[in-house]
Structure 1
Amino acid sequence: MKLLVIVALAALGLTFIVLGSGAYNMAATEKHWAITEKMITWVRESSIKARAEELEVPALDSADMLAKGFKHYHAMCTECHLAPGEQPTELAMGLYPQAPVFYKREPVIDADEKLYLSKKYFWVIKNGLKMTAMPAWGLTHNDEAIWATVAFLHKLPGMTAEQYAAFGETHRDDNLHDHHH
């Protein structure tokens, strides 16, 4: 048992020495090591699931909610997550990890998966994600605005540039992006 503790402490010490030496490149232009990527993904998904599990999802299909969600998405999200037909922005290209491009995803049909994604999207939008450039919009936006954005996120997969433009024209008004700080 004593040998196991010594080996574990030596491995931990060696790890700190190697990482402290700068061997791990933190540049956004370099991909994570495969083990690092797996660990970050596991920790992130576990954290989100544990915190989002108890959320109550409101009805997300009203025209008013979708219109508000479009306005918020268009004003706040397209710089990183893009809109259908847009080329990646300079900001989006410089992110690592890359922000998800929602319109390129497959539509979710399974009700349980859609429910979980709704909770996950809400939690991430409200709280942000460390070391990803995803801001915590809950500091400046109320839950209603965030749920509206979630509602629109469910409409984006498979949406064409023409559909996005038409959606914008249908839901355009003088107060494109309103919220209270």
Structure 2
Amino acid sequence: MTQLRNRNLAIHAGLWVLLLLLGAIFIWFGFYNFAADVKHSRPVFSLIETARERSVLVRAAKIGVPPLEDRAAIVKGAGNYQAMCAQCHLAPGMGPTELSRGLYPSPPALAKSNVDPAVAFWTIKHGIKASGMPAWGTSMGDPDMWNLVAFLKKLPGMEAAAYRELVQSSAGHSHAGAAAPSPGNTPHSMEESMHGEHEDANPKPSAATVPGHMHKEGEQH
């Protein structure tokens, strides 16, 4: 019996060593493609999605949600959303951006998604590894992040005109630790950044146009 048990233990140990060796070979020779323009296989994607969702839900369950109906908080959240979030998560009346098209997994279009406030707050504060979602808690205080959550509660189904009104009523990118607003982040230039299907895809340059973000054979000017 002792010899049989030892033999079984040796076989199991050998199988584990073999699996570890195969895994090391798989990783070392780069067999798995991590390119953002190649989707995960369905089993890998499901595993990652489930692990992420459970991770966030378990941690968000401990968060107490404050009242989120204050109009001033919603307006502040709208300004920061336009400056910090809209390029990935889009906005009412806004088509896909270069950034949103290039990210994988694709960021959720939050104008079409209802979010749980505690989950939204945790995600904004801590970010999500390997997803492109930053941990805004490194530069924003909790009150400013709750302002964003208050705005996100109102965002689904919002008309483009109502969105513009909220953003233009705000101070734009404004929270403790925020950098000075850039031209693309100010409320008055908001419409310029909403370059989706509602704008001319081929605007004619004028003589006064200064070359900016242009692409030609992979070059930037």
Q: Same fold (TM over 0.5)?
A: yes
Corresponding position of 1:150: 149
Deviation at 1:139, TM superposition (A): 0.9
Corresponding position of 1:37: 45
When normalised by structure 2's length, the TM-score is 0.71
Letter in 1 for 2:176: H
Corresponding position of 1:111: none
With 31-40 and 121-130 compared, the bigger mean Cα shift is at 31-40
Corresponding position of 1:88: 96
Corresponding position of 1:161: 160
Q: C-alpha offsets along residues 96-136 of structure 1, whole Å, 9 cap, x if unaligned?
A: 1111101122x5xxxxxx6xx11111011011111111111
Corresponding position of 2:73: 65
In 1, are the aligned partners of 2:79 and 2:166 still within 8 Å (CA)?
no
Q: Distance in 2 between matches of 1:71 and 1:124?
A: 19
Deviation at 1:87, TM superposition (A): 1.2
Deviation at 1:27, TM superposition (A): 0.5
Query: What CA RMSD, in Å, does the superposition of the two structures yield over aligned residues?
Result: 1.6
Corresponding position of 1:9: 17
| Structure with greater contact order relative to length (CA < 8 Å, sep ≥ 6) | 1
Deviation at 1:154, TM superposition (A): 1.3
Letter in 1 for 2:154: K
Deviation at 1:167, TM superposition (A): 3.0
Deviation at 1:30, TM superposition (A): 0.4
Q: Secondary structure at the match of 1:26?
A: coil
Q: Distance in 1 between matches of 2:147 and 2:173?
A: 12
Q: Secondary structure at the match of 1:88?
A: coil
Matches within 5 A, 1:61-140: 61-105=69-113, 107=114, 117-140=116-139
Q: Distance in 2 between matches of 1:9 and 1:46?
A: 30
Letter in 2 for 1:161: A
Q: Distance in 2 between matches of 1:159 and 1:20?
A: 48
With 147-156 and 39-48 compared, the bigger mean Cα shift is at 39-48
Corresponding position of 1:176: 172
In 1, are the aligned partners of 2:36 and 2:102 still within 8 Å (CA)?
yes
Q: Work out which of the two has the higher radius of gyration on C-alpha atoms and give 1 or 2.
A: 2
Letter in 2 for 1:78: A
Q: Secondary structure at the match of 1:44?
A: helix
Q: Distance in 1 between matches of 2:76 and 2:137?
A: 16
In 1, are the aligned partners of 2:126 and 2:134 still within 8 Å (CA)?
yes
Structure 2 residue ranges without an equivalent (≥5): 1-7, 178-221
Q: Which has the higher helix share?
A: 1
Q: Distance in 2 between matches of 1:53 and 1:9?
A: 39
Letter in 2 for 1:43: A
Aligned pairs, how many? Answer: 169
Deviation at 1:10, TM superposition (A): 1.5
